[in-house]
Amino acid sequence: MRSVSRFESNLLRILHCFLGQTPAAHVMPMIVRPTKRPPCLSRDAVALVQQSLATGTVKALVREGAWHQDRYLRDDQIRVGSLWQRTEPAKLGLDFSAASLDFLMFVTAAEVTNDSPLPIWAPEKPVSLTIGDHFLVFSAARALRHTVLLDEWFRKGPLQENALAALFLPDHFAEVKRRPKPNFKPWMEGTGSCIIEAIQDSLANAWVTSERKKGHLNRTDDMKRIGKIQDFVLTRFFDAAEKSGRRDLCRFVMQALNELLSVRSQGKDWIRSLNTSGLRLAERTEIYQFASSLIRTTERLQSWRTQSQGVGYFDEGYAESQILKSLWEENSMDNVLTHADRVTQELSF
Amino acid sequence: MSRAYRIRVSESVRKVIRAEDHISTQLEVLDILPADQMADLQAEELVRRGFTRDGDSVARTDGETTITVDLKTGTVTVKSEKDREVTVRGEKSGTSYDDFGPNAKDSKKKLAEDLIKELEGDVTQRQEELQKQITDKLESQLADLRKELDQAVNRATAEALKQKAAQLGQIKELTEDPESGSLTIVIEV
């Protein structure tokens, strides 16, 4: 039997919310109400945090899709199965540093009021966050994505350099003045890439939602901001995937495009509510280009497909090319391309 | 007893207003023959339609609109621009507590500045009207232009197919339907 203080109990409940076990509404009162931060946590509390992270992250990733029987690359070979079948469980461990505890303590203690600026988490000493730390901060972002806290964290705080958050919530980065530079390299190898594999379905859904929201945007400035950041994030992700030989991790883009583009799709679906009166044609063209930022990734995907068709059995990257070809078929990308061409034509003059 | 004097100023603003708009698009040219040969066929077809060749591009000017085609990349740029000199004049009345002296001068100066601001507002409005004119005109020209360029591309493609067919073997039969744009080539290999 372990006993914890009120602060530690709140911290654990907030952690469970971040790991998807409790709705955000249940813990928001704890987050906004200031609580005196203790100098450290008790041994019992730390043990419970460790246990929650150990079991909670596994449950969270399994819920996302780690259990799917999928094909992904491992050491230039195609491996089929669930995540723990593609990679031995012993190699799936996530490290969480003291920064994770510090972050949780900050969130629990912080005071959130309408009268004062929102507090921003900044570790006392500069610290290099582990993949586990990044995943925790990302999970917090997802849990709190409908709150004003998130916007502030994107503008100034820990999410600016969080590549997962940039990939999952690019719209929120659109508001940031100083453009973040997400580093996708750590997410192309080891446990980082395993996390990306597990959350493919969620990523696809996030991008579909983001694209559908464009049809409700009224201001051209908003469309421009969102389109620009989408372009930026996807280009960096694609570049990292191509450089690391992990273009299989771009599956979610093909899934999203397959869902968005059909015979019923029309260019005006993306710009239905946009007020372009008074704009020159040149400005309208630019705005429409930003509206179609995700659709235009089909050009790069098509070039990858063409490239992969020329890779022979004994050539480097054969396994990657095989996966790309099978992803192309699974997501009916030939049809998607046809619809994408039609929609981009409709969005041009 | 203080009196208010009526003051009047008149000003004029002369400016050259400029409006410009442009769009770019891409010609879809199939690689039937090597790129430079396709570019030459494209150029020939466009020259027949009034374009002038200058190295790797062809251009045509219709009034305020210039159409430029980059033969290497297939990029079509349509640009419309117009300048106009406008002169706007106006008068403005106000009051001053002096009819001469530094105070009167200041009042007149302020009134003149206000008038100039209003006139510049008029100039801006005229600039916006000119811009709308240019944009609307450009937009109205695009449909016909697209049709014309598509026809040019089709003709260049047909010519390329004929040349390619001649390279593959002997052309036994060649049927072209200008209405539907279809081309049937029978070759003996």
**CA–CA separation, B117 and B104 (whole Å):** 20
The string of pLDDT tens digits covering residues A267-294 is: 999 999 999 988 999 999 999 999 999 9
Pair of tokens at residue A270: 């993306």
| Residue B33 DSSP SS3 | coil
Q: Which two tokens stand for residue B69?
A: 């085609």
- Report the mean per-residue pLDDT for chain B: 89
With CB atoms and an 8 Å threshold, state whether A282 touches B21. yes
Q: Do B135 and A280 touch (CB under 8 A)?
A: yes
pLDDT band at A147 (very low <50, low <70, confident <90, very high): confident
Q: What is the pLDDT of residue A188?
A: 96
Nearest to A50 by CA among A89, A124, A4, A100: A100
Token couple for B88: 């706007």
Measured between beta carbons, which residues in chain B are less than 8 angstroms from residue A289?
Answer: none
Closest Cβ opposite residue A349 in set B20, B23, B131: B23
pLDDT, tens digit (0-9, with 9 covering 90-100), for A40-91: 899 999 999 999 999 999 999 999 999 999 999 999 899 999 999 999 998 9
**Band (A151; pLDDT cuts 50, 70, 90):** low
CA distance B129 to chain A (A): 10
Q: Which residue has the higher pLDDT, B169 or A222?
A: A222
Q: For B19, name the nearest residue in chain A, comparing CA atoms only.
A: A280
Residue position matching structure tokens 């230039």: A76
| Strand blocks (E) in chain A | 70-74, 77-81
Q: Which residue has the higher pLDDT, B173 or A242?
A: A242
A58 Cβ neighbours under 8 A, 6+ residues apart: none
Mean pLDDT across B76-85? 94
What angle do the packed helices A297-309 and A333-346 form, to 10 degrees? 150
Return the pLDDT at A120.
74
Q: How confident is the model at residue B168 (pLDDT cuts 50, 70, 90)?
A: confident
**CB of A294 closer than 8 Å to CB of A257:** yes
pTM of the model: 0.85
> Does residue A160 surpass a pLDDT of 90?
no
pLDDT of residue A114: 63
Give the residue on B whose Cα is nearest the Cα of A286: B23
